[in-house]
Amino acid sequence: MGAFLPREGSSHQPDAGRIYRSLFGGQKKSLKERTLIMKRHIIQTHLLPFLGSRTISSITAADLIQWQNAMLEKNYSQTYLRTIQNQLTALFTHASRIYNLQDNPCKKITKIGKSTAGKLNFWTKEDYDLFIRQLVPGSRYYVLFETLFWTGIREGELLALTKNDIDFQESQIHITKTYYRRNHTDFITPPKTEQSIRVVDIPEFLCAELREYIDSLKNLKEDDRIFPIVAEAIQHKLAREIKKGGLKKIRVHDLRHSHVAYLIYRGVQPYIIKERLGHQDIRITMNIYGHLYPSQQKQLAQMLNETR
């Protein structure tokens, strides 16, 4: 599908490209650099090829439905479709507020995608046991995957960890930063949200594994990363071991889901999980994981019956 055909619009109305530049010029101070990069990529890749040459006031709801249909044909995940849709909405909302766009076509269409994944993909404890047995105890990837599964921390948070972040006496990991790589350059930045800055209590066996692994690293400085690799290396290692063992396919991020699924199975309450994961709001936790909690409706009805 090509770009939308130009139509006549109000001469004083800017095109989508100008609105895009205006929107991100105002967001530079409020958003983290990595978030800005992601948003720019989405708009430049999925929106501007269709909208860039058009005056904003000439774009109709029918045009946006045509664009949505093109996005749906690409077989993106439901959550990614919603992310793309949200950036479209942000452009037109900005045009309404700053450029006096009178008729916002986004208000006339139904959003595509879903804000949360409909079905989580995760490993059970038994699945994980089969996986970890394939790795050499004490090796880099053994300790790395142990940390991901038993803490639920994010991949970037894991890759930013230094010796200083681990309190061996209290068996705690302090999450204060995240790591990513762009254009062959490493970046260490504050984590996703303020709530992501947290202390994660870890089991004694994981604390011992981390201590032994760190002690084996020669010339490690206090602020050196203990896992000095990139995210792609973890993804490739996971994929290779899954293929090797004929295991259920999951992504690295699904180990975070696996951790939560295990906690729920063991009866841990949502608020504790919310604090452990560093979620900004308990609603995020419940939207993602609420369906994993067993229904208590029958027990509730029985309890009420017994009070009569």
Residue-averaged pLDDT of the chain: 87
Identify whether residues 152 and 74 lie together within a single domain.
no
* Number of domains into which the chain is organized: 2
User: Tokens in use for 133?
Assistant: 């047995």
**pLDDT at residue number 148:** 98
Identify whether residues 151 and 200 lie together within a single domain.
yes
Q: How confident is the model at residue 4 (pLDDT cuts 50, 70, 90)?
A: very low
Average pLDDT over residues 264-293: 89
Identify whether residues 42 and 90 lie together within a single domain.
yes
**pLDDT at residue number 6:** 36
Which region among 91-105, 143-157, 167-181 has the lowest average model confidence (pLDDT)? 91-105
| Rounded percentage of the chain residues whose pLDDT exceeds 70 | 89
Instruction: Identify any residues that bridge with 162 across adjacent strands, giving them in sequence order.
Output: 225
The answer on pLDDT for 13 being more than 70 is no
| Rounded percentage of the chain residues whose pLDDT exceeds 90 | 55
3-state SS of the chain is: CCCCCCCCCCCCCCEHHHHHHHHHHHHCCCCCHHHHHHHHHHHHHHHHHHHCCCEHHHCCHHHHHHHHHHHHCCCCCHHHHHHHHHHHHHHHHHHHHHCCCCCCHHHHCCCCCCCCCCCCCCCCHHHHHHHHCCCCCCCHHHHHHHHHHHHCCCHHHHHCCEHHHEECCCCEEEECCEEEEECCEEEEECCCCHHHCEEEECCHHHHHHHHHHHHHCCCCCCCCECCCCCHHHHHHHHHHHHHHHCCCCCCCCHHHHHHHHHHHHCCCCHHHHHHHHCCCCHHHHHHHHHHHCCCCHHHHHHHHHHCC
**pLDDT at residue number 183:** 81
Identify whether residues 155 and 203 lie together within a single domain.
yes
Residue with tokens 């259920």: 248
Which structural domain, as residue segments, surrounds residue 152? 125-292
Q: How confident is the model at residue 8 (pLDDT cuts 50, 70, 90)?
A: very low
**Which amino acid, 18?**
R
**pLDDT at residue number 79:** 82
- Give 211-255 pLDDT, tens digit per residue: 999 999 989 999 999 999 999 999 999 999 999 999 999 999 999
Identify whether residues 184 and 256 lie together within a single domain.
yes
- Give 69-86 pLDDT, tens digit per residue: 999 988 887 888 999 999
Q: How confident is the model at residue 11 (pLDDT cuts 50, 70, 90)?
A: very low
- Give 154-208 pLDDT, tens digit per residue: 999 999 999 999 999 999 999 999 998 888 889 899 887 888 999 999 999 999 9
Identify whether residues 98 and 134 lie together within a single domain.
no
Identify whether residues 46 and 139 lie together within a single domain.
no
Identify whether residues 142 and 100 lie together within a single domain.
no
**CB contact set of 150 (below 8 Å; sequence gap of 6+):** 202, 203, 206, 259
- pTM of the complete model beyond 0.85: no
Identify whether residues 84 and 175 lie together within a single domain.
no
The answer on pLDDT for 20 being more than 50 is yes
Is 159 domain-assigned?
yes
**pLDDT at residue number 284:** 83
Q: How confident is the model at residue 31 (pLDDT cuts 50, 70, 90)?
A: low
Is 302 domain-assigned?
no
Is 80 domain-assigned?
yes
Identify whether residues 284 and 146 lie together within a single domain.
yes
CATH number at residue 138: 1.10.443.10
